[in-house]
Amino acid sequence: MDQSLANAATQSLDELFHRQLDLSRKTATPSAAERLDRLNRLRTMVADNEQRFQEAISADFGHRAPVETTIAETLFVLGEIKHTAKKLKRWMTPQRVKTELQFWPGRNVLMPQPLGVVGIIAPWNYPLQLTLAPAIAAIAAGNRVMIKPSELTPRFANLLRELVAAAFDDGELAITGIEDGIGERFASLPFDHLLFTGSTRVGRIVAEAAGRNLTPITLELGGKSPAIIDRSADLSQAAERVAYGKLLNAGQTCIAPDYVMLPKESVGTFAALLQKSIARMYGSNASNKDYTSIISDRHYARLEALVADAASHGAKILQAASPADTAWKSARKFPPTVILGATAEMKVMQEEIFGPLLPVIGCASAEEPIDYINAHDRPLALYWFGNDDAARDAVLSRTVSGGVTVNDCLFHFTQMNQPMGGVGASGMGSYHGEWGFKTFSKLKPIFYRPGLSRLPDLYPPYGAKIARLEKLLRFLS
């Protein structure tokens, strides 16, 4: 970006932040009616422009399966708004908290308050959902919100900025920071809370920038999410469900299964069933409208390099077509790829794949997947397939991950009453539903002291009164 344009963008960003900051400090806390009005405007904006969002996102990708945008983005956002609006007044109500006997007849209350200004740095892979879902929670909590969409989805970002500007005052909700190079400045603003969704590498940079202001952060990152196929599993069913979870959005999903581990004697059968499921869902033609393109040429080349590296180290590559084929490459669609014999020295097992490549690894025992997972960074998601409750519970109790779906993939993410969040290198903090409301609220503890109380017995000068009170406190402790 030209330096003068960069300076102007930075100045505009700073001015917008300080406007929202002043409003958050100088105006009354938004009422339930005001918050519901903002949520309703957001819902109307999304519902009335569903087709435009779908077209913009598809244009940014090169091709995005329309049904994927509808189900994974539009309907998810509309459902989140509906759920939040229904529950909002209860979430906003101060909650009575138990008061210990020695402080009776005093009482405790936990009062949720808006933090102030919330910043959201959104990724490109699900641009509508991962931009607006955290914004819904932040708005419900009564905050002012600034959102920075990804530079990789410029058509979507500009459309969102246009529609938000028409529906909201920029002191309520604003889309900004679309220009290249503005992300670092956005992350360095002293928000009251900052949420970032993206890669672990960039997450570290964002955390460092936020840390200079002691800005609380929620990081929704990625990593290598395993799928474990127990020997008690129905292999055909597991293959179909793993194929769907892996290839939705062409694998460009942070919670997609990154690799599969299963008994070594089942590898060949599972791989054949996986290929069969892939062929049934997507065929072998690059023109298939149900199959989504890779976001950029750079990302396509990265996937090619991962496959080439795996092959050079002895892996067996199963593909319905070559990614170098003109029809696939010109459409930027990477053929679904199964990788057999993946090992630790291969790059495909060292970094998050974020594409339609699936290593399938044979294991000698049920302990091996647990040991492997525990020897690496904690994943954002874990998937377990089987019918042996004891084997399932051994995996769930002995591994730590952001979330789990049993006998399927992805669907823990869609549960509005469950938190979504990573752990360790896969993230920190959580949102969705009430969990998001709490993330973007200050839950302020309040103690109401009654007129009659033993608390003055704590005051000096100390003497017989404090001795009696100390004896009571010891008894109650």
Rounded CA-CA distance 113/440 in Å is 9
Q: Which two tokens stand for residue 143?
A: 């905050």
Q: For the chain, how far is it from start to end, CA to CA, in angstroms?
A: 64
User: Buried b / exposed e across 4-26, counting CB within 10 Å, b at 16+?
Assistant: eeeeebbeebeebbebbbeebee
Neighbouring residues of 28: CB distance < 8 A, sequence distance ≥ 6:
none
Which position among 172, 179, 254, 434 bears the catalytic label?
A: 254
* Cα–Cα distance for residue pair 26/316, rounded to 1 Å: 63
Contact between residue 326 and residue 347 where contact means Cβ atoms under 8 Å apart:
no
Rounded Cα gap, residues 88 and 90, in angstroms: 5
Beta strand 95-97 with 107-114: parallel, antiparallel or unpaired?
A: antiparallel
Spot the catalytic one: 68, 80, 172, 220: 220
CA dihedral 212, 214, 216, 219 (to 10 degrees): 30
Round to whole Å and give the CA distance between 121 and 197: 6
| Residue 220 is among the residues annotated as catalytic for this protein | yes
DSSP characters for 232-275?
TS-HHHHHHHHHHHHHGGGG--TTS--EEEEEGGGHHHHHHHHH
Give me the DSSP letters along 115-167.
Answer: -SEEEEE--SSSTTHHHHHHHHHHHHTT-EEEEE--TT-HHHHHHHHHHHHHH
Active site residues: 220, 254
